[in-house]
Structure 1
């Protein structure tokens, strides 16, 4: 458990600093470029991400699912991902050369060709990164990822200073993907040889096929709305949407991404024993809500200040989009452990079918709502996340023989504490005159919010807090002493 705690620290470390570096570059770029520039890049990237939904990601997941270690199978999965990414890139290049649509300007077509590099190297990166995750080599992931982020940031800043304009934003994506690949290739290069076994690929089909379809549909559903916004509302509206989404994604990658990458392998180790499986699931959900709900609640109530501080007034139209993402993340936070339970319980086929059925409802509604404006589209997106989370909640509880009321009661206290803290902070800050520096307003708001939140938790949920603390830090002397005072015998 101590190694697990260190692993969590290193994984968070690797998730926190590279996005901060990349975000600094992104924020500087947003101050220079126009919303239309961001819209062009967002539309090109959306097409790349939708193309990447056809990547054989299920075979990568199989490395953790079946704890694969042999070089032949890992190499086969690596070369399979390379072959598929090259095939998809060839299709995209053909699409850019033919120019079927009005939005395919020369800059757009060149940008999407550059992004093919991202498609190729991302596929290889995720394959090898999963090998490191399986081995729990979090310190290597942290050091290599930070190094690649620094190198790519230096190159991007140089392009900005040389007045490359929108091309700095375009090359930022490709350079980071290339750097990330080499960051994970160096410690895993001995596991990748010039071998390929079709039999090794075929034997994983039962799990990998449906996992691939599930991941593919999920990825497509995460990016299809950008194509709709760009086509219906235009590149300017897509620019506002993209900046809000990128800010949300950076926060999500740091925190939600860390929880996801930790929970899947840990839950996988408990999957053989139902009671332990259920206990790990409940702890995962509680810890996720405890840490992440207050973060996104605070961002929601301070969204306008955050955008003024980071991007200036020209991006204020993106505030409502960012607030919508904060609401959606509440459902995503709950959905991650639910999805992991469903996949690990060999119900990947059911999950895939659910995504297909929901997409048949949500995608047409999203496309139709775009004609009524961006706000209508955002409402549909939030409702879609809510519906997805609700159905997967029912299924995961069914698989674990868990009562839904018991499941909700597990995290109801931190949820209520978030709401009360948000209301209290909003009321108090109304009586505080705004400072000249927006950062001071945000700091004061954060102080009031998190003190209110933590005070409520210590008052109403102290035993559970100590219990979670003992699971993460079982040898902590202060936690052990506090547990004895509260009559907590062992972590549950």
Structure 2
């Protein structure tokens, strides 16, 4: 029997969206807090070349993930109805394709080694081919969990898999296995996530394959595939340029800087893509509600993600030695610039969920093609002047990406670019004031212990941010007050009534007032659909 999805009430959707965001944020905090301890150990035993080797090998994996999935997971998440025949068709295609592509990855590894001028990358890639199989076989169960908005289960299984993988990585490092500790961490995390996804989904495929269903899913999936393929090619090209021009150690320094920025982004906004895709898909029938929900989510995204990224943009030179140990100082300046770029494109994760939730991946593909081409070109032009110059190239593209998305989303939501630029005004003011206060504290506290300086900088950034909220974005205060009381009930597993901050809440006045109320991949694509399986936490 087909599964119907369009009968849920707005309040129910809003409650599930709020709960989903909360649980995925809890997951990321659990993973990243333990991950800090893990990476603090690994960076003291492994070299920048080790991290660079795994980073280079990992850039190839997403190409094979995408070909194995063919965008079917994204189709399942947003489809109006599903049935066992359609789901089984997606599963059998992904499984067979995953096995074939894993073999292809083993065969092409020597060619990739020639491109990166590294012999060590070859065996690493060949062993990592198992990751393609794990990801492909769990694609449909993960899509079903997301479709059902079962983000609590996703959060639990992701946390368990990540923590176990981190323990394995530390053990392998202490045993002297070097770069293979990083490989083991990736494979253990993906394997456990896949197994737990099957257990949680409680779904089993039938021995059936429908060519009619395959064609329908392939038409949608081809557009998703185009988006993600472009993004992965961009990541691969960046890594190839950096390693070729500046060396594998430089790629390792860049990887550590990107990891630090990604940690901050994950702890605040990682839940946006999986939750917003489903939530927007469920309310896409009402354009007014959709605009209201999007603008409210945009303001909340800016509010949550801007303070920690601003803190990192100021305090990265203090944070990196504490977290990663001595010898990683070259990552500090790069992390500062990438944090600024991350601030500029902070809304990209939400926009990604919007276009996928509305079934418009083709438009996002055009955006991705343009921005990622600019990113690769900027990297090629600036890398000759060093790693910091390449980071500034990313920052320049981030400005272009932000402005271009205003026009792209405005057309989709039938509103004006000025309406979408309004919340960004708050972000700019908060970043300038918060960053200025942080830099002042950084200059005045020279000589104090690094941890004390980081704490004082954080307090200064937060106070400046609260002042800007009070002056420019009072609407945020009421929205945060409506959201925060939900947290104890959600953490305790209790039900609560609809709140004003529900993603799907209908607020006809919001879209009208947002134009006049300035409330609120580093330029890279968000993780591809189903990427819960792919992150080497």
Task: Indicate yes or no: 2:467 matched with 1:448.
Answer: no
Q: 2:56 aligns with which of 43, 46, 50?
A: 43
User: For the residues of structure 1 that align with 2:508 and 2:414, how far apart are their CA atoms?
Assistant: 23
Residue 145 of structure 2 corresponds to 132
**How far 1:458 sits from its partner (Å)?**
3.1
**How far 1:414 sits from its partner (Å)?**
4.2
Q: Deviation string for 1:408-455 (max 9, x for gaps)?
A: 22342243123212212321342234323x222211211222123123
Q: Which moved more, 1:405-414 or 1:180-189?
A: 405-414
User: For the residues of structure 1 that align with 2:457 and 2:269, how far apart are their CA atoms?
Assistant: 23
Change (3 A) 1:293 1:57: farther
**How far 1:111 sits from its partner (Å)?**
0.6
Change (3 A) 1:301 1:202: same
Task: Indicate yes or no: 2:173 matched with 1:160.
Answer: yes
Q: Deviation string for 1:298-353 (max 9, x for gaps)?
A: 11100101101111231010112212321221233222223333344444223323
Q: Does the 8 A contact of 1:67 with 1:134 survive in 2?
A: no
Q: Does the 8 A contact of 2:316 with 2:335 survive in 1?
A: yes
Residue 324 of structure 1 corresponds to 337
Task: Indicate yes or no: 2:409 matched with 1:396.
Answer: yes
5+ residue gaps in structure 1? 484-488
Task: Indicate yes or no: 2:185 matched with 1:172.
Answer: yes
**Which has a greater percent of helix?**
1
Q: Does the 8 A contact of 2:375 with 2:397 survive in 1?
A: yes
Residue 315 of structure 1 corresponds to 328
User: For the residues of structure 2 that align with 1:237 and 1:142, how far apart are their CA atoms?
Assistant: 33
Change (3 A) 1:473 1:273: farther
User: For the residues of structure 2 that align with 1:76 and 1:218, how far apart are their CA atoms?
Assistant: 26
**How far 1:4 sits from its partner (Å)?**
3.6
Q: Which moved more, 1:462-471 or 1:132-141?
A: 462-471
Q: Does the 8 A contact of 2:281 with 2:358 survive in 1?
A: no
How do 1:399-438 residues align onto structure 2 when only pairs under 5 Å count? 399-436=412-449, 438=450
Task: Indicate yes or no: 2:106 matched with 1:93.
Answer: yes
Change (3 A) 1:322 1:429: closer
What TM-score, normalized by structure 2, do the two folds share? 0.82
Report the 3-state secondary structure (helix = DSSP H, G, I; strand = E; otherwise coil) of the residue aligned with 1:101: helix
Q: Which moved more, 1:359-368 or 1:194-203?
A: 359-368
**How far 1:113 sits from its partner (Å)?**
0.9
Q: 2:27 aligns with which of 14, 28, 34?
A: 14
Change (3 A) 1:448 1:277: same
User: For the residues of structure 2 that align with 1:56 and 1:280, how far apart are their CA atoms?
Assistant: 30
User: For the residues of structure 1 that align with 2:444 and 2:407, how far apart are their CA atoms?
Assistant: 43
Task: Indicate yes or no: 2:478 matched with 1:466.
Answer: yes
Residue 390 of structure 2 corresponds to 377
**How far 1:292 sits from its partner (Å)?**
0.3
The total of aligned residue pairs comes to 485
User: For the residues of structure 1 that align with 2:182 and 2:486, how far apart are their CA atoms?
Assistant: 45
User: For the residues of structure 1 that align with 2:46 and 2:486, how far apart are their CA atoms?
Assistant: 50
Q: Does the 8 A contact of 1:49 with 1:223 survive in 2?
A: no
Residue 486 of structure 1 corresponds to none
Q: 1:281 aligns with which of 274, 281, 294?
A: 294
Which structure ranks higher in relative contact order (CA pairs < 8 Å, sequence separation ≥ 6)?
Answer: 2
Q: Cα RMSD between the aligned structures?
A: 3.0
User: For the residues of structure 1 that align with 2:153 and 2:345, how far apart are their CA atoms?
Assistant: 28
5+ residue gaps in structure 2? 1-13, 490-496, 502-506, 511-537
Task: Indicate yes or no: 2:98 matched with 1:63.
Answer: no
Report the 3-state secondary structure (helix = DSSP H, G, I; strand = E; otherwise coil) of the residue aligned with 1:163: coil
Q: Deviation string for 1:86-124 (max 9, x for gaps)?
A: 232222211235676175655321111111112222334
Residue 225 of structure 1 corresponds to 238
Q: Which moved more, 1:67-76 or 1:239-248?
A: 67-76
User: For the residues of structure 1 that align with 2:338 and 2:66, how far apart are their CA atoms?
Assistant: 21
